[in-house]
Amino acid sequence: MMSLAEKYILVTGGTGFLGRQVTAELIRAGADCDKITCVGRQKYDLRRLDDCKEAVDGKQIVIHLAAHVGGIGLNQAKPAELFYDNLMMGAQLIDCAYRAGVEKFVCIGTICAYPKYTPVPFKESDLWNGYPEETNAPYGIAKKALLVQLQAYRQQYGFNGIYLLPVNLYGPRDNFDPASSHVIPALIHKIHSAQQRGETAIEVWGDGSPSREFLYVEDAARGIVMATQAYNEPDPINLGTGEEITIKDLVMMIAHLMDFNGEIHWQTDKPNGQPRRCLDTSQAAQAFGFRAQVSLAEGLRQTIAWYRALHHQG
């Protein structure tokens, strides 16, 4: 297992939702906080080659979390930006890391890379067996291209790059902007807003039939750091809980936890997205001992409590 002590570590997206948790987990695992560099878009635009060169200079480990990402609405509105931004950030950063002599590159992929009709549970070997669901294909393909790049750099240069596929994340400090958020923060925001306005109904995209899997952000951070320390193979690895829930049941669970008894109006003219998502997480357990610890109900309670406390404080 790699010791993180004395390692100079770059965490792209380190000031964001997942990045803060990964940084905290790195420190818990023995990394020196003074040797961790967390960068966000305010400091570096990783679409620019010079910024990538500067960011990786002197680093021994790079954990690439930075992404331009959102829910179905953003994927529909900005497919070109999502493709270009994610491809350019990752491709340039990987090349610069290799040229700078970085010891290990940890790339965070996306569940959106899987084919639209992947058999459930998704196995890593299914990744190339079809085209992704159309609404998030540009984002998913851009991120999946980075797996190809890392495997090619390993083959030609011996560069140690690994690729992790986390399922949908959620938790405190998530993106709750209704214009770009994923389903859990979008629902929490929607129900909270309805309660504040005294409304007795909310609208939800789709018909509620698709299924999803969700991983609490602290669990995800722990899995990423465990892989950073102990996984050094070219094959992609899923990170998730292995538990599937329909969007309809998720809405009911969040409404119950938030004491919302109003009506749910399903907007069936809006897209459902991929029909089913649930991961086979056995490889992560076998390769580096990762298993999720936080249940969906408990993670939702903590996320809702954080969101309400934030709004109570104004």
pLDDT digits (tens, 9 = 90+) for 196-213: 999 999 999 999 999 999
CATH code of 22's domain? 3.40.50.720
Average pLDDT on 249-261 reads 97
Distances (CA, A) of 148 to 114, 127, 137, 142, 155: 14, 12, 16, 10, 11
pLDDT reading at 71 higher than 80? no
Token pair in block for residue 134: 């159309």
The response to whether 15 counts as a known ligand-binding position is yes
Cis peptide before 178 (omega within 30 of 0): no
Q: What percent of the chain has pLDDT over 90?
A: 88
Q: Percent helix, strand and coil across the chain, each rounded to 5? A: 45, 15, 40
pLDDT on residue 181:
82
pLDDT band at 312 (very low <50, low <70, confident <90, very high): confident
The response to whether 272 counts as a known ligand-binding position is no
The response to whether 190 counts as a known ligand-binding position is yes
The response to whether 262 counts as a known ligand-binding position is no
Residue 128 is assigned to a structural domain of this protein: yes
pLDDT on residue 61:
98
In degrees and rounded to multiples of 5, residue 267 shows phi and psi of -90, 85
Tell me the whole-structure pTM to 2 decimals: 0.94
Average pLDDT on 248-252 reads 97
Residue 186 is assigned to a structural domain of this protein: no
Q: Which of 139, 170, 216, 307 is catalytic?
A: 139
Give the residue ranges of DSSP H helices in the chain.
17-28, 49-56, 72-77, 79-99, 137-157, 183-197, 217-230, 247-257, 282-288, 296-312
Average pLDDT on 239-253 reads 96
Domain that residue 77 falls in: 9-172+214-242+276-293
Distance CA 103, CA 7 (A): 10
Start-to-end CA distance of the chain, whole Å, equals 45
pLDDT on residue 177:
87
Verify whether residue 131 is a known catalytic residue.
Answer: no
- Nearby residues of 172 by Cβ (< 8 Å), 6 or more positions away: 217, 302, 303, 306, 307
The response to whether 212 counts as a known ligand-binding position is yes
Average pLDDT on 242-257 reads 96
The response to whether 19 counts as a known ligand-binding position is yes
pLDDT in tens, 153-201: 999 999 999 999 999 999 999 989 887 788 999 999 999 999 999 999 9
Average pLDDT on 132-154 reads 96
pLDDT reading at 38 higher than 70? yes
Token pair in block for residue 89: 């950030």
Residue 218 is assigned to a structural domain of this protein: yes
Burial class of residue 271 (count of CB atoms within 10 Å of its CB; 0-12, 13-18, 19+): middle
Distance CA 179, CA 72 (A): 10
pLDDT reading at 72 higher than 80? no
pLDDT in tens, 92-131: 999 999 999 999 999 999 999 999 999 999 999 999 999 9
pLDDT reading at 314 higher than 70? no
- Nearby residues of 196 by Cβ (< 8 Å), 6 or more positions away: none
pLDDT reading at 2 higher than 70? yes
Residue 301 is assigned to a structural domain of this protein: no
How many domains is the chain built from? 1
The response to whether 16 counts as a known ligand-binding position is yes
Looking at 71-85, 162-176, 279-293, which range is the least confident one? Answer: 71-85
pLDDT reading at 26 higher than 90? yes
The response to whether 43 counts as a known ligand-binding position is no
- DSSP secondary structure letter of residue 118: P
Residue 164 is assigned to a structural domain of this protein: yes
In degrees and rounded to multiples of 5, residue 132 shows phi and psi of -65, 165
pLDDT reading at 69 higher than 90? no
pLDDT band at 42 (very low <50, low <70, confident <90, very high): confident
pLDDT reading at 33 higher than 80? yes
The response to whether 223 counts as a known ligand-binding position is no
